[in-house]
Amino acid sequence: MSRWSILAAAAALIGFGPLAAQAQPKPALPKPKAPLTISVIDVAGDLQISQPAIEKFQKEHPDLVARFVFTKATAPELAGKLKAQQQAGRVDIDFVLTGNDALAAGMEQNLWLEIFPTYADRFPALDKLYIPGAYAMQKMARGQAMVLDWYPSGPLLEYDPAKVKDMPKTAEELLAWCKAHPNRFMYARPANSGPGRTFVMGLPYLLGDKDPQDPVKGWDKTWAYLKEMNDCIEYYPSGTTATMKELGDGSRDIIATTTGWDINPRYLGIVPESFKVATLKGFHWVGDANYMAIPKGVTGEKLDVALALMAYLLEPAQQAYMYDHGYMYPGPSIHGVTIDMAPKDSQETIARFGRPEYAAMIADNPTEPPLDAKPLVTMFEKWDREIAGNKARQ
């Protein structure tokens, strides 16, 4: 049985399966008497993918939404912001777009509204709706969020082929290359970077660690590797964009990346189109997703609209927007959404900047789940404390 299947089965047994969820009662919610202003905060960079679909909801439902107010923040600051608002009894964030980083932090602090099983009747049967990797990550949300877009992620390495003539083929060779070329390799702080955390979570598979899902007791080789690698890394940016800019301007020669962070910055012109990607021997994909969540304190008419927006964004027509310009490639989290359904400009981006080898790489290599919420937060804290030191930058 695959790790994905084990997670899904376990989730069903503890009451998050579709049948268990739909058996629960739900409170009735009032419908808006007049169109509302809905506040959306994005801590995952997801608006560049999903904003057109969200704005389409307003156009199709002007009786529900007068306008959306969009704001952005970093993942590490979201939990504190929400907690302060909830303690003050005045939550002004209605809808959250987040990666599993801020989602996990919010779960640790009990900040999220329970969607399942309370409002299960608002959604289709999730085991049939979601593709396997997205469904497994949906279970990891423990009913407190909905997967919006999903991709196998990485860890991948992106490099300048004009400067790196003999690309490392193993984790050991990457470490040796880093030592021989100080400050030319980079990855960003895992707590605020998809490629950064995917690189770190992928190492236990590459190094043959005891338990890739236990960063405390099962990552002896990984932590030793990261500490040794720290000596040849100049600093750790607070987000992924800085790594892409430094690769593009020649300050770095190799960086950690993912499928989406490979395609999208080349489309944007931040990274030259000719740059290449590579994997290391023993590579496993570590899946990643962006989620939709609702903070506790959102009630009544606004909650009704937020739930309606969630269900809308999980329809095929809206999921086709998730191809975007490759940011979460492939992107759609549900079955039956193909590239020919995407907007024309998305199709053109993928045709030009996508890589033909990705289809085989996705099919031929195992895909693992990321760390669950509690061990993920533990990993972030341990990395910040024991690896980054004074090399982390805001």
pLDDT, tens digit (0-9, with 9 covering 90-100), for 280-334: 999 999 999 999 999 999 999 999 999 999 999 999 999 999 999 999 999 999 9
What is the percent of the chain with per-residue pLDDT over 70, rounded to a whole number? 93
**In this structure, is the dihedral angle defined by the CA atoms of residues 306, 307, 308 and 309, taken in order, positive or negative?**
positive
What is the percent of the chain with per-residue pLDDT over 90, rounded to a whole number? 90
The mean pLDDT value for 90-106 works out to: 95
Model confidence band, residue 391 (pLDDT cutoffs 50, 70, 90): confident
What is the DSSP secondary structure assignment for residue 93, as one 8-state letter?
A: -
| pTM, 2 dp | 0.85
The mean pLDDT value for 175-203 works out to: 97
pLDDT, tens digit (0-9, with 9 covering 90-100), for 210-221: 999 999 999 999
**Cα 64 from Cα 38, distance rounded (Å):** 10
pLDDT on residue 6 = 41
Long-range pairs for 21-29 at CB < 8 Å and ≥24 separation? 21/116, 21/117, 21/120, 21/143, 22/117, 22/120, 22/121, 22/125, 23/117, 24/117, 24/118, 24/120, 26/118, 26/119, 26/120, 26/121, 27/118, 29/300, 29/301, 29/303, 29/304, 29/307
Q: Is the model's pLDDT at 223 over the cut of 80?
A: yes
**Cα 241 from Cα 355, distance rounded (Å):** 21
Instruction: Sort strands 156-159 and 331-332 into parallel, antiparallel or unpaired.
Output: unpaired
pLDDT, tens digit (0-9, with 9 covering 90-100), for 99-150: 988 999 999 999 999 999 999 999 999 999 999 999 999 999 999 999 999 9
pLDDT, tens digit (0-9, with 9 covering 90-100), for 336-388: 999 999 999 999 999 999 999 999 999 999 999 999 989 999 999 999 999 99
pLDDT on residue 30 = 95
Query: H or E stretch including 235?
Result: none
pLDDT on residue 9 = 43
Count the residues in the chain: 394
pLDDT, tens digit (0-9, with 9 covering 90-100), for 59-73: 999 999 999 999 999
**Cα 147 from Cα 290, distance rounded (Å):** 6
φ, ψ of residue 349 to 5 degrees: the values are -60, -50
Residue 139: closest CA among 391, 369, 385, 378: 369
HEC sequence for 256-322:
EECHHHHHHHHHHCCCCCCCEEECCCCCCEEEEEEEEECECCCCHHHHHHHHHHHHHHCCHHHHHHH
pLDDT, tens digit (0-9, with 9 covering 90-100), for 15-51: 344 434 444 556 689 999 999 999 999 999 999 999 9
Model confidence band, residue 14 (pLDDT cutoffs 50, 70, 90): very low
User: Within 10 A of 364 (CB to CB), how many other CB atoms are there?
Assistant: 7
Model confidence band, residue 390 (pLDDT cutoffs 50, 70, 90): confident
Query: How is residue 119 written in tokens?
Result: 């409002």
Residue 303: closest CA among 115, 160, 116, 168: 115
The mean pLDDT value for 3-25 works out to: 43
Residues forming a β-bridge with 322? none
pLDDT on residue 394 = 61
**Cα 22 from Cα 17, distance rounded (Å):** 9
